[in-house]
Structure 1
Amino acid sequence: MNDITREQMEFDVLIIGGGPSGLSAAIRLKQLVPSLEICLIEKASEIGAHIVSGAVLEPTALNELFPDWKQKGAPLNTPVNHECMFYLPNDEKKIRIPIIKSLMPQMNNEGNFVISLGDFCRWLAAQAEALGVEIFPGFSGQDLIIENERIAGVITGDMGLEKDGSQGPNHTPGMELRAKYTIFAEGCRGSLSKKLMDHFQLRQGVDPQTYGLGIKELWEIPAHKHKPGYIQHSFGWPLDDRTYGGSWLYHFGDNLVSFGFVIGLDYSNPWLSPFEETQRVKNHPVIKYHLEGGRRIGYSARALSEGGLQSVPKLTFPGGLLVGDAAGFLNMPKIKGTHTSMKSGMVAAEAIAEAMNTQEIEPISYQFRMHKSWVFKELHEVRNVRPAFAKFGARAATLYVGFDSMVRGRVPWTFHHRLADNDKLKAAALCKKIEYPKPDDQLTFSRESSVFLANLDHRDDQPVHLKLRNPAIWKTVNWDVFKAPESRYCPAGVYEAIDIDKEPKLQINSQNCVHCKTCDIKDPAQNINWETPEGASGPNYPGGM
């Protein structure tokens, strides 16, 4: 890539990613040092177009960033007013879990809001631009600029390349965006963040990251069923005791319901399909009641960093730092990461402002500042929750988590994640094949009809952004041992095993990709590499998602 003559642009600070962490970092930097030249790039066609979440927002960080957010018109219009949690022992029964706020602080949503996270990010972007931040949507970070072992910026992806990588008639080279400091706010499993962690060995000495896949649907339901501010969570059926996961239901807006299902990607049965489990759980009466008679109007999926404090890497390196879900600041028991991501961006801004004053190459105080922040205190209190489910199974872990919550995590031990998610899969011959019911197209649906609702836009003749490092491995590992698990764990039908009665081959339908990154995480041989496609490609989630 570097043999092409590229336009260069220089900034004080460059931010990769237009989610809550990157936007909060930009805003806080401008609040601290208004004269800074700050550029933020976002691979989606517009800010918010790739943003996916439940979402219930805890406004802790927002209160710090903008104490007057109500006067500024922040789109927090639906306060939580009622919450329920259920354990589902089977496909019909439910057991209500009482939420005792004094004993279960992680499940207390008093003072929180049901929001559209995409709309919230659009609002944050407007505040950033009003302060003078330059925001460039439709630009993906394709490669790092490393000079003298320091990050000096990034190279954006070329536009107009042909499928074979050659330059088409409308080819435009990517630009070199250079900065004194670069903030990586790509979200979960970002392609540049992976390169950073490898190059600077940022994961040395920490647990492997473990992930979940969140699949979300947006529904419009009959007005008589709509209860703005009602939120509901469930766990148990249809998952077995060794598989972590559960559902959410959030009522908000004009007769809208955000429904979703999260499955831990440390599951072992290669026959499991997170998409099919999401469809199946909707048949339980506790969920079916809310959605029946409604209309599904949106679909999305995204991987989540679930490892917690044990899996947070070193956060800084010469020339930059990691924020938000790129670093893994999700609070999994709360099922929330927006407030922690925002706070990490704000703390990063403070560290960079200090580094500029002292002319430090590496904004090293960020690591110390985060350790002293309420983010690390919050993550320390829940550090044992997620690994407890992997260690004990769902039923026993629920009892342990109840105890752990009562003592606020003040125990002398820390559970650890021993293996990466891709190492947890068992051979297909050792596992029970799962037969899933056919969709009824009213409550449950196919992948094809679901992906249609993601409003995907990938130029047909652009290079494929999902690549096999060694194509020969697919047959001997993925097919012979695991029977093509990528055809089941992908929630968008990107991967298909074809000619299985003759000589099995893998077909990659990259135009279906919703950018969830699951393939990059769960592939058993880590042979699939997810790279950013041409800028502005991918899903286009509308307002309200």
Structure 2
Amino acid sequence: MTSEELLAQFGPRDSMDYDVVIVGGGPAGLSTAIRLKQLAAEKGAEIGVVVLEKGSEPGAHTLSGAVMDPRAITELFPDWKERGAPLNQPVTSDDILFLSADGATRTPDWLVPDCFHNHGNYVISLGAVTKWLGEQAEALGVEIFPGFTAAELVYDEQGRVKGVATGNVGLGKDGEPTDNFQLGMELLGKYTIFAEGARGHLGRQLLQRFKLTEGKDPQTFAIGIKELWEIPADKAQPGKVVHTAGWPLSDDTFGGGFLYHLEGNKVTLGYVIGLNYANPWMSPFEEMQRWKTHPAIRAHLEGGKRIGYGARAINNGTPQALPKLVFPGGALVGCDAGTMNAARIKGSHAAIKSGMLCAEALFEALQAGRSLDELSAFSNAFEASWLHDELQRTKNFKLWFKKGQTVGKLMTGIEQWLLPKLGMPIAPWTLHNDTPDHVCLKPADQCQKIDYPKPDGQLTFDRLSSVFISNTNHEENQPAHLRLTDAAVPVAVNLAKYAGPEGRYCPAGVYEFVNKDGADQLVINAQNCVHCKTCDIKDPTQNITWVTPEGGGGPNYAGM
């Protein structure tokens, strides 16, 4: 049944009113809520704030490398150390390695651009930091609703965003209400802030409805695939940070690896591949597994045990592709907008700062008695901020690498190392991209097929065993949250022309082509989905749309 039919039969929906509704309990959403409550406390004002989090708790769906720049969290909580924020492991050393098939060349420290230096930063579990931020928010009086998805936008008569509706619960696989059916609830606010992360489900709709990307480059993305390992104590090097470029990727594919030593004999590592790759035979998951076999990476892991797995789409963060941040009734913050700094491989500090800037504009508007207008003060504050300046300094990084690794390395050296020494922190030229990721695949018969080695179960693994340790779970009797606009397209176009790339770009084994009674068909194993959004981005026909499943479903990351 459609939403309209359900409302006609079971409606109207109950509603709750707040001053500010925030969609997404990650660093951006929680920082927005925290800063708003801080300002209210300083002025003796009462502001009702609610945060909707689709995961089982704040941090459950949060995935990042991560090395964290503490600049923004220090602005939010100058006493974060005394408060017990889980930034426990300072970076102690930095290696940038260029890999060949069997060798590695370390970049001398004096040649490393400032944007790649991590002195003063911390190796963290962003999930743990997010959980801590949630505790701080609740202590300030923020209401957090975990396990609730924001499934629909709610507009007023003038077309302004006045809130969201949570997902209906108790629909069967056929879309019909079961005996346990419950209609979603509307959460209405004077302003609604969207902090869903990269390729947000509602954020994507807002970009289109309010034409927020008009005159901008198309947003591009990468997929990040991550593992958490426990290693022998004699291999532990707490605070060591390693980044790699080169093997196993070809020169025309953007990507690289990261490996960070946490405290407690743990290592977090992963691989990032730009979703503009052209060869449909490529599997980002398999490339990550192959990368681990390199001697420079294997040496950190041998004798250890893999204890966590996850994947997530990542914004490439070029300011040329940043949308307009505000619209009537709300704003986009963090990776819902695209504030990731791809050159620094960091987004959490940007998410926190963007949330704080938004909160300050919100507080000013609420104090003035305004609602449902555009928060132009947020856009202005962002453009005047250190975050905007930081993104401008690395504006061409990804775009140079799209021209090949040799060009990327050369021009990054010029822009990030040479020009700052000449007193020019921002390059006087700006590159642009007009090609979205989904149009970049070439037909399979024009590309070399890639034969990946079988997993050994010790260092390399298959998808299903990986999904198992991500603690992914969905209520089985619910409509698939991966929707096909046309059910015939996967076989007629994707399989015929691109050899079925869904089965390779998905890092969770959601999509598989099977032959039944002599006919090919696509099977969607939606219960495996780790909510990375790669299919929504990379599908060459844009026939797949990721929508929110029932609240609480998906991965339940621990220590990630």
Q: TM-score range by the shorter chain?
A: over 0.9
| Partners of 2:317 and 2:391 within 8 A in 1 | no
Residue 140 of structure 2: aligned partner: 131
Comparing 21-30 and 349-358, the one that deviates more: 349-358
| Partners of 1:210 and 1:417 within 8 A in 2 | no
| Partners of 1:17 and 1:41 within 8 A in 2 | yes
Tell me how far apart the structure 2 counterparts of residues 116 and 204 of structure 1 sit (CA, whole Å).
36
Comparing 426-435 and 1-10, the one that deviates more: 1-10
Residue 494 of structure 2: aligned partner: 478
Tell me how far apart the structure 2 counterparts of residues 11 and 100 of structure 1 sit (CA, whole Å).
53
| Partners of 2:122 and 2:239 within 8 A in 1 | yes
1:108 maps to amino acid: H
Residue 86, structure 1, aligned to residue 97, structure 2: yes
Tell me how far apart the structure 2 counterparts of residues 203 and 307 of structure 1 sit (CA, whole Å).
14
Residue 108, structure 1, aligned to residue 117, structure 2: yes
SS at match of 2:479: coil
Residue 378, structure 1, aligned to residue 387, structure 2: no
Residue 497 of structure 1: aligned partner: 513
Tell me how far apart the structure 1 counterparts of residues 140 and 426 of structure 2 sit (CA, whole Å).
42
Residue 216 of structure 1: aligned partner: 226
Tell me how far apart the structure 2 counterparts of residues 448 and 37 of structure 1 sit (CA, whole Å).
43
Residue 236 of structure 2: aligned partner: 226
Tell me how far apart the structure 1 counterparts of residues 516 and 220 of structure 2 sit (CA, whole Å).
32
SS at match of 1:153: strand
How far apart are 1:411 and its partner, in Å?
2.6
Tell me how far apart the structure 1 counterparts of residues 240 and 228 of structure 2 sit (CA, whole Å).
15
1:524 maps to amino acid: P
Deviation sequence 1:367-395 (CA, Å, 0-9, x none): 1110000111000000011000112x002
Residue 362 of structure 1: aligned partner: 374
Q: Pairwise mapping of residues 186-197 of structure 1 onto structure 2 (< 5 A)?
A: 186-197=196-207
| Partners of 2:313 and 2:532 within 8 A in 1 | yes
Tell me how far apart the structure 1 counterparts of residues 415 and 315 of structure 2 sit (CA, whole Å).
21
SS at match of 1:257: strand
Counterpart pick for 2:160 among 145, 150, 166: 150
* Aligned positions, number: 541
How far apart are 1:412 and its partner, in Å?
2.4
Residue 401 of structure 2: aligned partner: 389
Residue 418 of structure 1: aligned partner: 434
Q: Pairwise mapping of residues 233-382 of structure 1 onto structure 2 (< 5 A)?
A: 233-358=243-368, 359=370, 361-382=373-394
Comparing 160-169 and 256-265, the one that deviates more: 160-169
2:523 maps to amino acid: Q
The root-mean-square deviation of aligned C-alpha atoms, in Å, is 1.1
Tell me how far apart the structure 2 counterparts of residues 447 and 473 of structure 1 sit (CA, whole Å).
25
Residue 118 of structure 1: aligned partner: 127
How far apart are 1:149 and its partner, in Å?
1.4
Tell me how far apart the structure 1 counterparts of residues 268 and 128 of structure 2 sit (CA, whole Å).
14
SS at match of 1:480: helix
Deviation sequence 1:246-270 (CA, Å, 0-9, x none): 1111111211000100000000000
Residue 167 of structure 1: aligned partner: 177
SS at match of 1:507: strand
SS at match of 1:477: helix
Residue 58 of structure 2: aligned partner: 47
Residue 523 of structure 2: aligned partner: 507
Tell me how far apart the structure 2 counterparts of residues 261 and 415 of structure 1 sit (CA, whole Å).
25
SS at match of 1:47: coil
Tell me how far apart the structure 2 counterparts of residues 222 and 421 of structure 1 sit (CA, whole Å).
40
How far apart are 1:437 and its partner, in Å?
0.3
Give TM-score, length-normalised by structure 1. Answer: 0.98
2:124 maps to amino acid: I
Tell me how far apart the structure 2 counterparts of residues 130 and 466 of structure 1 sit (CA, whole Å).
36
Q: Pairwise mapping of residues 448-463 of structure 1 onto structure 2 (< 5 A)?
A: 448-463=464-479
Comparing 312-321 and 164-173, the one that deviates more: 164-173
Give TM-score, length-normalised by structure 2. Answer: 0.95
How far apart are 1:234 and its partner, in Å?
0.4
Residue 149 of structure 2: aligned partner: 140
Tell me how far apart the structure 2 counterparts of residues 475 and 527 of structure 1 sit (CA, whole Å).
12
Counterpart pick for 2:73 among 56, 62, 83: 62
SS at match of 1:496: strand
SS at match of 1:46: coil
Counterpart pick for 2:20 among 10, 13, 18: 13
Tell me how far apart the structure 1 counterparts of residues 475 and 408 of structure 2 sit (CA, whole Å).
46
| Partners of 2:116 and 2:344 within 8 A in 1 | yes
SS at match of 1:143: strand
Tell me how far apart the structure 2 counterparts of residues 172 and 366 of structure 1 sit (CA, whole Å).
37
Counterpart pick for 1:429 among 445, 456, 459: 445
| Partners of 1:270 and 1:427 within 8 A in 2 | yes
Q: Percent identity?
A: 52
Tell me how far apart the structure 1 counterparts of residues 227 and 283 of structure 2 sit (CA, whole Å).
16
Residue 30 of structure 1: aligned partner: 37
How far apart are 1:500 and its partner, in Å?
8.1
Tell me how far apart the structure 1 counterparts of residues 345 and 540 of structure 2 sit (CA, whole Å).
27
1:22 maps to amino acid: G
| Partners of 2:239 and 2:263 within 8 A in 1 | no
SS at match of 2:498: coil
1:313 maps to amino acid: P
Tell me how far apart the structure 2 counterparts of residues 486 and 247 of structure 1 sit (CA, whole Å).
23
How far apart are 1:134 and its partner, in Å?
0.2
SS at match of 1:119: helix
| Partners of 2:480 and 2:526 within 8 A in 1 | yes
| Partners of 1:33 and 1:353 within 8 A in 2 | yes
1:399 maps to amino acid: L
Tell me how far apart the structure 1 counterparts of residues 549 and 108 of structure 2 sit (CA, whole Å).
46
How far apart are 1:356 and its partner, in Å?
1.9
Comparing 323-332 and 400-409, the one that deviates more: 400-409
Deviation sequence 1:110-149 (CA, Å, 0-9, x none): 1100111111011111111000000000000100001111
SS at match of 1:289: helix
How far apart are 1:357 and its partner, in Å?
3.0
Tell me how far apart the structure 1 counterparts of residues 81 and 336 of structure 2 sit (CA, whole Å).
29
Residue 207 of structure 1: aligned partner: 217
How far apart are 1:355 and its partner, in Å?
1.8
Tell me how far apart the structure 2 counterparts of residues 80 and 215 of structure 1 sit (CA, whole Å).
22
Comparing 393-402 and 271-280, the one that deviates more: 393-402
How far apart are 1:235 and its partner, in Å?
0.7
